């Protein structure tokens, strides 16, 4: 991601069930200046398996960042956020909620569960690309946990 002094790619876990949104995010991330390895899962259960290196994800890297949709099949994003932040090994990973929900309750609950940020997903590619560039710039200037 932008501004990094290392050439090592940043692993990002995208938890997104909508194929169109995932494609927009993937394409926007490809435009970022610094290397990034995007890993996508389409539901909450798969996110937990990835993070815990469970079934099918034994070789999964620990992500430096999680981009989390709220409206997911199986386990919702708020439940995943709560579980990540309750797990002392996963807690340090920054989680950015990237949701279509503008509900004040969803925003409030996400921050209560220690989301690093809450962003409403733009509906079009140009808007999504702008959001991803801003996330890239933000992540590029902060220190991420190991």
Which pLDDT score, from 0 to 100, does residue 136 have?
Answer: 86
pLDDT mean over 93-109: 97
Domain 10-140: which CATH class? alpha beta
> What integer best gives the mean pLDDT of the chain?
91
Which pLDDT score, from 0 to 100, does residue 142 have?
Answer: 76
Strand order in the sheet with 65-68: 36-41, 10-15, 65-68, 95-99, 117-120
pLDDT mean over 114-140: 92
The share of the chain scoring above pLDDT 70, in percent, equals 94
Longest dimension (CA), the chain: 39
For 7-66, how does the pLDDT look when each residue is reduced to its tens digit (9 = 90+)? Answer: 578 899 999 999 999 999 999 988 887 678 999 999 999 999 999 999 899 999 999 999
């Amino acid at each position: 991601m932008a501004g990094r002094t290392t050439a090592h790619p940043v692993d990002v876990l995208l938890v997104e069930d909508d194929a169109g949104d995932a494609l927009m995010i993937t394409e926007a991330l490809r435009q970022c200046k610094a290397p990034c390895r995007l890993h996508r899962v389409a539901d909450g259960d798969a996110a937990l398996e990835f993070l815990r290196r469970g079934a099918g994800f034994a070789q999964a890297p620990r992500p430096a960042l999680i981009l989390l949709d709220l409206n997911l099949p199986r386990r919702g994003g708020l439940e995943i956020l709560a579980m990540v932040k309750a797990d002392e090994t996963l807690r340090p990973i920054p989680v950015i909620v990237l949701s279509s929900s503008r509900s004040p309750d969803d925003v409030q609950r996400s921050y209560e569960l220690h989301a690093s940020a809450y962003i409403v997903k733009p509906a079009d590619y140009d808007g999504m690309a702008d959001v991803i560039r801003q996330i890239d710039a933000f992540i590029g200037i902060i220190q991420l946990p190991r």
